[in-house]
Structure 1
Amino acid sequence: MATENFQTLLQNPTVAYLQSTTQDHLTSKLTHLRTMVLQPYLIEPMSTFLTTYTGAMPDLLSLFMLAIILLISIKVVNYAFRVVMFWVSLAFRLVFWGSLLGAGWYVYSVGVENAGRDLGWIYGVVVGLLGEFQEKSKTAAAAYAKGPK
């Protein structure tokens, strides 16, 4: 029963019209794609490139093997990149979680008050170093603006 409904649907004049117009539309779009894009940008440059090497023209098997070797090389490089990125991200995660656990252990072992005092001292050192760096960079910028003597 379902096949009868499907067959009557396919025999409907509207479906037949849509099939023919879709096929004609698709054919015209593909023809346009070939004439406007593929022909001037791919087919003609490749044909001129291949015709310049008529004496040393490689056979199709050599080109196919070259393409396969290129694809395998890209896969190997991608695999190596993923392995390296795994180990780098693992190292960063270990450093992050290790420093977090180390800071927690330090606060636990010396107490919150002493850890806060040490943190304030570290903050003062960092602010002092940044201030000194800013002064030296301003002095160097002023000396550079004056130019050579």
Structure 2
Amino acid sequence: MDFLPENFQTVLQNPTFTYLQTTAQDHLTTKLSHLRTMVLQPYIIEPVSSFLASYSTSMPDLLSIFLLAIIILVSLKILDYAYRVVVFWVTLVFRLVFWGSILGLGYYVYSIGIENAGRDFGWLWGVVYGFVGDFQEKSKTAAAAYAGNPK
């Protein structure tokens, strides 16, 4: 404890801290032993040991289990690689579409001017707003008809 600063050393050597540390260790040991006797032993250890004992004559050898584990690991690595490749290409397509639309919009504004682009944007906004308003009105009418009280 020579490498710790002096104020940490005094805290760690405090009798209260030492008491709490030993109490926590005793409490943790008690809880873990309770967990082992009440949960692990009857529900995991005994069933697995009885299963292994009943199939001990037809158990595969260690080499087969080792090869199976290696095959599973290699196949998971291949699937991870394939996943990364697919995610890369999908992300690349989305980025190209996004930046292409930004550049296309910039070129459109540059070629026709800001005033005409603003006018076109206002027209497009009106069309979208009209469609949204019509959709909301029709959905309210359909909800009222479904509820049984038509307008």
- What residue number does 2:19 align with? none
Q: 1:137 is aligned with what amino acid? A: S
Most deviating of 96-105 and 56-65: 56-65
Q: 2:77 is aligned with what amino acid? A: K
**Which deviations, in whole Å up to 9, do the C-alpha atoms of 1:32-71 show, x marking residues without a partner?**
57x7299536544433443454454222222221111111
Confirm or deny that 1:36 pairs with 2:40.
no
- What residue number does 1:98 align with? 100
Aligned partner (choices 108, 111, 114) of residue 113 of structure 2: 111
Residue identity over aligned pairs, in percent, reads 62
User: How many Å separate the matches in 2 of 1:101 and 1:92?
Assistant: 14
User: How many Å separate the matches in 2 of 1:73 and 1:101?
Assistant: 42
Which structure 2 residue ranges, 5 or more long, are not aligned? 1-24
Normalising by structure 2, report the TM-score: 0.66
How many residues are treated as equivalent by the alignment?
118
Which structure 1 residue ranges, 5 or more long, are not aligned? 1-24
**Which deviations, in whole Å up to 9, do the C-alpha atoms of 1:45-100 show, x marking residues without a partner?**
43344345445422222222111111111111111111000001100110010000
131 and 49 in structure 1: CA distance in 2 versus 1, 3 angstrom threshold = farther
133 and 51 in structure 1: CA distance in 2 versus 1, 3 angstrom threshold = farther
76 and 49 in structure 1: CA distance in 2 versus 1, 3 angstrom threshold = farther
